[in-house]
Amino acid sequence: MVSIIFRCLVFFLLSSLIAQVNSQICQGVSQYGRCSSNSACGCLHMEGASDIGICGFQWVTCSDLAPCEGADNYCRQSDHICVHHPRCHVRPLCFSVSMMDAKLCPPIKAFVPLQASAVEIHPNAQWQQSAITVAEGYLLPNGTNATDRLYFPMGVFVNDEQTVYVTDPNNNRVMKYVLGSTSGQVVAGGNGRGNEAHQLAGPSDVIVDKETNSLIICDNVNKRVIRWPRVNRIRGETIISSVSCHGLTMDENGSLYVVGYGTDEVRRYRKGESQGTVVAGGNGRENRLDQLHWPQYVFVDRDRSVYISEWYNHRVTKWVEGAKQGIVV
């Protein structure tokens, strides 16, 4: 009876706090279990309630989280909740409710972000029903340099040889997995988190530029786009600076399209350009068709129309070249 009363009290208190910030409770969901259409969110179990948690954004800097205090595991700040986050620490941690808002971690619905590489798929194509896992589990920052583990992988690029390139943001590196291999190779970064030419900080997307035989990487935290050679890959070269890059792609002419999630726009950079031209958004952060709200990834077709996935607007929009607004697709 005491256990039941305690569980009900925990649920009531949690529900009251969550209602104030428009978040969602996850009950009966495993730790880090899926609870949102945003794959970066997961169920964070509340201290003292093993099957009750809150859906929160997992990709936070572990060092920013303070341990819960006292025997009761409380948080000094009223807008923080004590939750389990074992990927960061064995002890329960105080997590900001702002990282649990339903706008950031919306309920699960049909939402599939577009990715960078373009392929033509026959409408009657059939897919193999079994898959091969090439990397699994997570690797904590400052851990061992395991090449079969990733920590919140984000951007993926597959070349013509079916070699997979993956950004591993919390390990500050880009990994390469050759077809048939279960162990990867670090091809960019992996030298600790930093802003030097041989380092990355939270890379979020990657593509392969055949013409220059190099990787082009969104170095998210450093707010730059960096070109990293695939041969003699000791360091990269910044080709676009001061840009809050999250996703990118390239068209047939070699122009780069860069998603600026901080400026809510997509810019096209022709070869040699450093400023670029806005081709989508750039009109404030709302849900009008001439606006974007936290755009993530971009795809460009042969007509140079761009398709953009947005977190907060829960939509994919198409912007025809030269258009002043997009259409929801």
Calculate mean pLDDT across residues 120-134. Answer: 73
pTM: 0.63
Q: Are residues 83 and 193 in the same domain?
A: no
Number of domains in the chain: 2
Q: Are residues 171 and 49 in the same domain?
A: no
| DSSP helix/strand/coil, 298 | strand
Q: Are residues 88 and 212 in the same domain?
A: no
Q: Are residues 162 and 90 in the same domain?
A: no
Q: Does residue 225 fall inside a structural domain?
A: yes
Q: Are residues 77 and 171 in the same domain?
A: no
Length of the chain: 329
Q: Are residues 179 and 96 in the same domain?
A: no
Q: Are residues 186 and 320 in the same domain?
A: yes
- Do residues 21 and 57 make contact, with C-beta atoms less than 8 angstroms apart? no
Separation between Cα atoms, residue 291 and residue 310, nearest integer Å: 10
Q: Is 95 exposed, middle or buried (0-12, 13-18, 19+ CB in 10 A)?
A: buried
Q: Are residues 96 and 160 in the same domain?
A: no
Give the list of residues 6+ apart from residue 259 with CB closer than 8 angstroms, or none: 245, 246, 247, 248, 266, 295, 296, 297, 298, 308
Q: Does residue 216 fall inside a structural domain?
A: yes
On the question of pLDDT at 143 being above 60, the answer is: no
**Would you give the distance in Å from CA 116 to the centre of its chain?**
14
Q: Are residues 11 and 87 in the same domain?
A: yes
Q: Does residue 110 fall inside a structural domain?
A: no
Q: Are residues 50 and 163 in the same domain?
A: no
Say which range, 17-31, 94-108, 189-203, 291-305, has the weakest mean pLDDT.
17-31
Q: Does residue 143 fall inside a structural domain?
A: no
Query: Which pLDDT tens digit goes with each residue over 27-82?
Result: 778 888 888 888 888 888 887 765 678 889 888 888 889 999 887 788 888 788 88
pLDDT value of residue 140? 55
Query: Which pLDDT tens digit goes with each residue over 285-315?
Result: 889 999 999 999 999 998 899 999 998 899 9
What CATH number has the domain bearing residue 275?
A: 2.120.10.30
On the question of pLDDT at 5 being above 80, the answer is: no
On the question of pLDDT at 135 being above 60, the answer is: yes
Q: CA-based Rg of the chain, rounded to a whole angstrom?
A: 21
- Which of 100, 121, 136 is the endpoint of a domain? 100
- Do residues 203 and 189 make contact, with C-beta atoms less than 8 angstroms apart? yes
Q: Which domain holds residue 36?
A: 2-100
| DSSP helix/strand/coil, 67 | strand
Q: Are residues 69 and 211 in the same domain?
A: no
